[in-house]
Chains A and B, each alone.
Chain A
Amino acid sequence: ETGVTQTPRHLVMGMTNKKSLKCEQHLGHNAMYWYKQSAKKPLELMFVYNFKEQTENNSVPSRFSPECPNSSHLFLHLHTLQPEDSALYLCASSPYDRGVRLAGGEQYFGPGTRLTVT
């Protein structure tokens, strides 16, 4: 599946580093999402963008900073992370209905970035 791509696939960074995760979708969708997946926890929705506008920010620490320059690209900028931020970061996209605040349609996930903070 190449509908949603993410780079890098693996990232090891120190707590003082700054790095960025990239996501690109080729499905023509208008909604994009960042999720955090930690072991033994439900998927945690971090950010939602619809038509390039951020519509959800689920109390995510400011050390995570999203950017959505257009409907096809999504970035997650990381700085001064903590070891507990180590997780799989998943990007997803879905169709979006302007009449609905959040798309209830299916989400298509990228392969994820496995992040380790040392």
Chain B
Amino acid sequence: GQQVMQIPQYQHVQEGEDFTTYCNSSTTLSNIQWYKQRPGGHPVFLIQLVKSGEVKKQKRLTFQFGEAKKNSSLHITATQTTDVGTYFCAGSSNYQLIWGAGTKLIIKP
């Protein structure tokens, strides 16, 4: 079946370091969404990418959608403690929304 693979499962970074999570789909996506879930919280919508090769920025977060619309990435520059949580991608394909397993961002003390 259709899958969206998200890697890595966990990423430990020092505060101030960068963080990146990647999503790869087995099929071409019509769009991809990104969500953040804080510890103990619920997923919160961050952004949706629709166009091939699209790049969007939200302050220190940069979102990219691949040219083939099969992969996407989220990059956080200079992480802060407020960035802690799990980041999920969700791709739309054949009228289904397929969720990645999430990448947990952990800030090292």
**Hey, which bits of chain A sit against chain B, CB under 8 A?**
1, 41-43, 45, 90, 92, 100-102, 104-112
Contact = CB atoms under 8 A, between A and B. Distances in A.
A109 B43 contact: yes
A115 to B, nearest CB: 14
A43 B99 contact: yes
Contacts of B48: 104-106
Q: Chain B: interface secondary structure?
A: strand
Given A101-B95, A104-B30, A104-B31, A43 B44 contact: no
B42 A111 contact: yes
A107 B45 contact: yes
B88 to A, nearest CB: 7
Given A43-B88, A104-B30, A104-B31, A109 B44 contact: yes
A105 B33 CA distance: 8
A42 B100 contact: yes
Contact of B99 (A42, A105, A111): A42
A110 B42 contact: yes
Contacts of B39: none
Q: Please give me the 3 A-B residue pairs with the lowest Cβ-Cβ distance, nearest first.
A: A101-B95, A104-B92, A106-B45
Given A45-B99, A102-B96, 19 more contacts: A1-B44, A42-B99, A42-B100, A42-B101, A43-B90, A90-B42, A100-B95, A101-B95, A102-B97, A104-B31, A106-B48, A107-B35, A107-B45, A107-B90, A108-B45, A109-B42, A111-B41, A111-B42, A112-B42
